[in-house]
Amino acid sequence: MISWRIMARLPKCGRAIFSLGLFALVGGPVAAQLPARQFLDPVQELAAIKAASTLDDDPADAEAVQQVCTACHSSSQFLGTPRSSSRWEQVFGRMAQQGARPSDEQVDRIVRYFQRNLMVVNVNTSPDEELGPTLQTSPETTAAITLRRVQRKFTGIADLAAVPGVNRSVLEGLKDRIQF
């Protein structure tokens, strides 16, 4: 499910049709806000995006991110800076304004990549649809988490790991992105 409403609203345009050359020629405020344009090596970009993905095992997701999100700038713009769902939504909305036009399939893949690798969640406040994809829990386990936090707030990773169905190795990889 796509929780980034703005991305979901993007018009269906089939595959992204960015032309690096074209963007290099665009003058004005857009070009002025990015660092001086350098040649982006798609192979290197894909390698960096894959290397930053410890929790998404579908290589096609990384490929979609490379295709869409490195059309105008390097992946270093976004790798290594996890954000909350609403902050990513804002970024994606701005990228759409700048001209990002992913296909529906690319949107799904990009959303999954970001949810798994770059999303910050709060176990005690984030809604189900944000928690589930990031913690990689089933709907039942996600519901158990949200039920339990109403009774008693979670205090840390060990507390969360005790909920049946929670995958500890996923939690290990998420340590820096889980708030309580």
Closest approach of ligand HEC to the CB of residue 123, in Å: 24
CB of 100 to ligand HEC, least distance (A): 4
Greatest C-alpha distance within the chain: 57
| Planar angle of CA 65, 66, 69, nearest 5 degrees | 65
Smallest separation (angstroms) from ligand HEC to the CB of 96 = 8
Residue count at the site for ligand HEC (CB under 6 A)?
19
Burial 69-91 (b: 16+ CB within 10 A, else e): bbbbbbbeebbeebbbbeebbeb
β-pair type (178-179, 119-122): parallel
Residue among 34 and 162 whose Cβ is closer to ligand HEC: 34
54 to 93: interface string for ligand HEC, x by CB under 6 A: --------------xx-xxx---xx------------xx-
Nearest alpha-carbon partner for 109 in 73, 62, 69, 173: 62
Which residues on adjacent β-strands are paired with residue 120?
84
CB of 91 to ligand HEC, least distance (A): 5
Read off the tokens for 8. 């979901």
CB of 87 to ligand HEC, least distance (A): 9
Positive or negative torsion for Cα 105, 118, 79, 101: positive
Q: Is 103 in the site for ligand HEC (CB under 6 A)?
A: no
d(CA 159, CA 163): 8
The site string for ligand HEC over 5-24 (x = CB under 6 A, - otherwise) reads -------------x------
Token output for 7: 């991305």
Q: Is 38 in the site for ligand HEC (CB under 6 A)?
A: no
Binding site for ligand HEC (CB under 6 A): 18, 30, 33-34, 68-69, 71-73, 77-78, 91-92, 94-95, 98-100, 110
